[in-house]
Structure 1
Amino acid sequence: MKISKLAMIAMVACGMSGANAFGDQANNISLVSHCAVAACDCGEPVCGCEAVAPSCDSGCCDSGCDSAGCVDLGCLAGDCCLGDPWELFGSTDSGWSAGGWLQTGYSSKSIPLFNNRDNELQLQQAWLFAEKAIDTSCGFDIGGRIDYLYGTDGPNTQAFGIDNNSWDNSWDNGPDNLGYGQAIPQLYMEAGYGDLSVKVGHFYTIIGWEVVQATGNFFYSHAYTMNNSEPFTHTGALATYNVNDDVTAYGGYVMGWDSGFEDNGDAFLGGLSVGLTDDLTVTYATVGGVFANNQNSYAKGYMQSIVADLALSDNLQYIFQTDYLTADNRDDSKQRETFDINQYLIYTVNDCWAFGGRFEWYNEEGIYSAVGNDADIYALTLGANYKPHANVTVRPEIRWDWDDDQVVGLEDGDSQTTFGIDSIFTF
Structure 2
Amino acid sequence: MKISKLALVAMLACGVNAGVASADQAYGISQVGCFEQSNCDCGEPVCGCEMVEPSCDFGCDSGCDSGCGPAGCLGGGSLGDPLELFGSTDNGWSAGGWASIGYHNEALPLFNSRPDEVQLQQAWLYAEKAIDTSHGFDIGGRIDYIYGTDAQDTQSFGIDNDHWDNGWDNGSDYGSAIPQLYAEVGYGDWSVKAGHFYTIIGWEVVQATGNFFYSHAYTMYNSEPFTHTGALATYNVNDNVTAYGGYVLGWDSGFEDNGDAFLGGLSVALSDDLTVTYATVGGVFANNQDAYEKGYMQSIVADLALTENLQYIFQSDYLDSDDRTGATSRKTFGINQYLIYTLSDRLAVGGRFEWYDQEGVFNNDNGTPDDDTDDTLQQSDVYELTLGLNYRPIANVVVRPEIRWDWDDDQLIGLDDGDHQTTFGIDSVITF
TM-score in terms of structure 2 length: 0.83
Match of 1:13 in 2: none
Match of 2:56 in 1: 35
1:396 to 385, 401, 408: 401
Pair 1:233–1:78, CA change in 2 (3 A): closer
For 1:268-417, list aligned pairs within 5 A.
Answer: 268-369=262-363, 371-417=376-422
1:421 to 408, 426, 432: 426
| Cα distance in 2 for residues equivalent to 1:202 and 1:322 | 26
Q: Which amino acid aligns with 1:97?
A: S
Deviation at 1:333, TM superposition (A): 1.1
Deviation per CA, 1:345-370: give whole Å up to 9, x if none: 00000000000000000000000026
Deviation per CA, 1:198-256: give whole Å up to 9, x if none: 00000000000000000000000000000000000000000000000000000000000
Match of 1:108 in 2: 105
Bigger shift: residues 363-372 or 297-306: 363-372
| Cα distance in 1 for residues equivalent to 2:155 and 2:233 | 23
For 1:74-89, list aligned pairs within 5 A.
Answer: 79-89=76-86
| Cα distance in 2 for residues equivalent to 1:326 and 1:205 | 18
Deviation per CA, 1:365-406: give whole Å up to 9, x if none: 000026543100000000000000100000000000000000
| Cα distance in 2 for residues equivalent to 1:127 and 1:387 | 19
Deviation per CA, 1:69-118: give whole Å up to 9, x if none: xxxxxx98664211111121101221100000000000010001000011
In 2, are the aligned partners of 1:206 and 1:285 still within 8 Å (CA)?
yes
1:232 to 226, 229, 233: 226
Give 1 or 2 for the bigger CA radius of gyration: 1
Pair 1:389–1:77, CA change in 2 (3 A): closer
TM-score in terms of structure 1 length: 0.84
Q: Which amino acid aligns with 1:377?
A: V
Q: Which amino acid aligns with 1:287?
A: V
Q: Which amino acid aligns with 1:31?
A: V
Pair 1:349–1:78, CA change in 2 (3 A): closer
**Percent of paired sites with the same residue:** 71
1:259 aligns with 2:253: yes
In 2, are the aligned partners of 1:365 and 1:371 still within 8 Å (CA)?
no
Pair 1:350–1:263, CA change in 2 (3 A): same
Bigger shift: residues 329-338 or 375-384: 329-338
Match of 1:218 in 2: 212
| Cα distance in 2 for residues equivalent to 1:117 and 1:342 | 24
| Cα distance in 2 for residues equivalent to 1:200 and 1:102 | 27
Query: 5+ unaligned residues in a row in structure 2: which ranges?
Result: 1-42, 64-71, 364-374
In 2, are the aligned partners of 1:126 and 1:150 still within 8 Å (CA)?
yes
In 2, are the aligned partners of 1:23 and 1:282 still within 8 Å (CA)?
no
Match of 1:198 in 2: 192
Q: Which amino acid aligns with 2:392?
A: K
In 2, are the aligned partners of 1:146 and 1:184 still within 8 Å (CA)?
yes
Name the count of aligned residue pairs. Answer: 371
Query: 5+ unaligned residues in a row in structure 1: which ranges?
Result: 1-21, 37-47, 51-63, 67-74
Match of 1:123 in 2: 120
Deviation at 1:412, TM superposition (A): 1.5
In 2, are the aligned partners of 1:23 and 1:320 still within 8 Å (CA)?
no
Pair 1:91–1:415, CA change in 2 (3 A): same
| Cα distance in 1 for residues equivalent to 2:153 and 2:81 | 32
SS at match of 2:340: strand
